[in-house]
Amino acid sequence: MARRKSESPLLFELPPVPTDAIERRLRRAGHKAIAGVDEVGRGPLAGPVVAAAVILDPKNIPEGLNDSKKLTAAAREALFGQIMASAHVSVVAASVLRIDTTNIRQATLWAMARAVNGLPLAADHVIVDGIDVPPGIVCRGEAFVKGDGRSVSIAAASIVAKVARDRMMVRAAAHYPDYGFERHVGYGTAFHLAALASLGACPLHRTSFAPIRTLLTKENAAGRADGVDRFDEEFLVS
């Protein structure tokens, strides 16, 4: 019998908001300190990539956790405060220098591993947003595509990483006021691209990324060492 158009199958649909189902499964398997891990800042033209690791208290999970991209800035800030007050948290920023001398993927995995290993409570299992479990972590882990929309722990990590990185880029705007970092936090907006075309690159721009690589001259490339360590290498929160 043909299926009527109104009868759409609901199997395999993701939950509309993250849950603690993954964490509960892992606790049933004997794990007690489950760290959610996520990153923010792979795509921008400027600034660090930031990774966070968060171990939530299963009896005190903040309400409203979600993928940071789906939340307003005000909601992220409010949840950030709740997470910091109730969870074990570690944040690491991989610098522009590290991004340009290795690559964005390696810098991201490095930051994730450092965040996990820097947790004030040692994790016994890690759940990561994406496809890679970072090498060098203190325990075993598994990766989940779009994990920040599935797991409350990964969602919490995405919020912490986003708020931490945004704050860093707002501070950067005070040092490089003409680029509008407080507005776009390093992403390639029309305003940012226009500023690059007019001013060239500053020490926070990623020379390994187009269009920075195209715009950068030998003169300003030579000067990039000045100030490039302003956010190197770790920005830890615990």
pLDDT bucket at 210, cuts 50 / 70 / 90: confident
- 185, with CB counted inside 10 A (0-12, 13-18, 19+), is buried
- Total structural domains in the chain? 1
Give the Cα separation of 48 and 31 in Å (integer).
32
Tell me the per-residue pLDDT of 100-110, one tens digit each, with 9 for 90 and over. 999 999 999 99
- Is residue 237 assigned to a domain? no
In single-letter form, the type of residue at position 164 comes to A
- Is residue 4 assigned to a domain? no
- Is residue 140 assigned to a domain? yes
Give the Cα separation of 148 and 29 in Å (integer).
22
94 by DSSP, 3-state: which? strand
Q: pLDDT at position 211, please?
A: 84
Task: Evaluate if residue 1 carries a pLDDT over 60.
Answer: no
- Is residue 191 assigned to a domain? no
- 159, with CB counted inside 10 A (0-12, 13-18, 19+), is buried
- Is residue 95 assigned to a domain? yes
Domain limits for position 119: 21-175
Report the largest interatomic distance among the alpha carbons of the chain, rounded to a whole angstrom.
72
Encoded tokens for 229: 């360590």
Give the Cα separation of 128 and 133 in Å (integer).
6
Give the Cα separation of 176 and 202 in Å (integer).
8
Tell me the per-residue pLDDT of 102-132, one tens digit each, with 9 for 90 and over. 999 999 999 999 999 999 999 999 999 999 9
Q: pLDDT at position 15, please?
A: 54
What's the CATH number where 132 sits? 3.30.420.10
More confident residue, 32 or 215: 32
Q: What is the mean pLDDT of the chain?
A: 89
- 186, with CB counted inside 10 A (0-12, 13-18, 19+), is buried
φ and ψ at residue 139, rounded to 5 degrees: -150, 180
Task: Evaluate if residue 229 carries a pLDDT over 70.
Answer: no
Task: Evaluate if residue 177 carries a pLDDT over 90.
Answer: yes
- Is residue 222 assigned to a domain? no
- Is residue 35 assigned to a domain? yes
Angle formed by the axes of helices 21-28 and 152-175, nearest 10°: 120
- Is residue 170 assigned to a domain? yes
Indicate left, alpha or beta for 146 from its phi (over 0: left) and psi (-120 to 50: alpha): left
**194, 199, 205, 208 alpha-carbon torsion, rounded to 10°:** 80
Give the Cα separation of 180 and 171 in Å (integer).
11
Q: pLDDT at position 10, please?
A: 45
- What distance, in Å, lies between the first and last C-alpha atoms of the chain? 59
pTM of the model: 0.86
